[in-house]
Amino acid sequence: MEERRVWDETQLRKYDVPLVYVPKYRYDDPKVQELISANKPVIITGSELVASALNWDVDYLKEHMNNSNCTVIFSKNHKFKYFDDKSVRPDVKAKFVPPTRKVGMKMAEFAKRLREWKKGDERLYLQQMLNNTVGPGIVHDFLRFHWDWINSLQKNMSWGPLTSNLLLIAMEGNVTPCHYDEQQNLFAQIRGFKRFIMFPPEQFECLYPYPVYHPHDRQSQVDFERPDYMKFPKFKGAVGHEAVIGPGDVLYIPIYWWHHVESLMRGGYTVSVNFWYKAGPTEKIEYPLKGYQKVAIMRNVEKMLLEALHDPQELGPLLRALVLGRYTE
Ligand code: OGA
Ligand code: ZN
């Protein structure tokens, strides 16, 4: 089949990171399940997972979203770095300057702002959970998703329950900086093209996540556009797995895999829906542990130490005292 290539290299942002391609297979190819069971990313074509939603644009959504309220994020630049200051210690929160702001608005208002947006304005990114407040038209499309396929995949992979579906509507050029999530993700593209640069959990050291108690927990501290190699020298060793997906494609983002996401420049706005699943129950533990299991352990150690010490300032000195000269070569 001829490749549908409706974007070109000039629409991709440039970074100082070597890239390899994420493989692409039809949904019924045995390679798909093979890669997913191995926690490796794969682009899945032909699944028709969200075929019933391929007509979702802001005008259609405006008509059918039943006036429900949506979360829209505003940013002064093209970067939308996630933060969570709810579960964060008050002293840390007091010093934190949020990089973006969240505003609730109706889809009609969002559509109007997209239409009237001009250069220099704050950029917008709608990120709204699909829940029971969306109108019957959307529910109708949602119920016609290819659930048979995705449910059997979930079963074969022994994943836990589906926790949520996030609807994402991004302006062209918007970037979600590099982070990892603690869930399995099937990311379905509906409109426009998105590019993912992903890194396996084993590259934890190259990506320098913020401390767990920080509002930017799970985010990389490295600014891909201006990497500070003095502070983050191991970023030089990072190798990204690149995937560009378009309407009808589904990308598997394995749990704990890092991902940087961009809506292509000059491609119009993008619409996507993701499917987040809890990890399955831990099977028999096999050694050596996998990269993501070690990341989970590190998170727990960090949390335990913080609880014991109380003051995040004391974490670094204690860890250094523990390691230096004893666990260093
Ligand atoms: C995700 C995610 C960001 C984006 O689905 O986990 O990080 O911009 N998405 O699509
Ligand atoms: Zn994510």
The string of pLDDT tens digits covering residues 309-324 is 999 999 999 999 999 9
Pocket test for ligand 1, best of 171, 272, 277 (most atoms within 8 A of CB): 272
Structural domains present in the chain: 9-277 (2.60.120.10), 291-326 (no CATH)
Asked whether the bond before 288 is cis by omega within 30 degrees of 0, the reply is yes
* pTM assigned to the model: 0.97
Is the pLDDT confidence value at 283 over 80? no
- Does ligand 1 have an atom closer than 6 angstroms to the CB of 181? yes
Nearest of 161, 140, 133, 135 to residue 275 by alpha carbon: 161
Tally DSSP H helices, then E strands, for the chain: 9, 15
- Does ligand 1 have an atom closer than 6 angstroms to the CB of 176? yes
For ligand 1, the distance from its centroid to the CA atom of residue 191, given in whole angstroms, is 15
Q: pLDDT band at residue 94, thresholds of 50, 70 and 90?
A: confident
For ligand 2, the distance from its centroid to the CA atom of residue 260, given in whole angstroms, is 8
For ligand 2, the distance from its centroid to the CA atom of residue 26, given in whole angstroms, is 24
Q: Are 140 and 63 in contact (CB under 8 A)?
A: no
Contacts of 64 (CB under 8 A, 6+ apart): 134, 135, 136, 137, 138
Pocket test for ligand 1, best of 184, 274, 275, 276 (most atoms within 8 A of CB): 274
Is the pLDDT confidence value at 1 over 60? no
For ligand 1, the distance from its centroid to the CA atom of residue 156, given in whole angstroms, is 24
- Does ligand 1 have an atom closer than 6 angstroms to the CB of 261? yes
How long is the chain?
A: 329
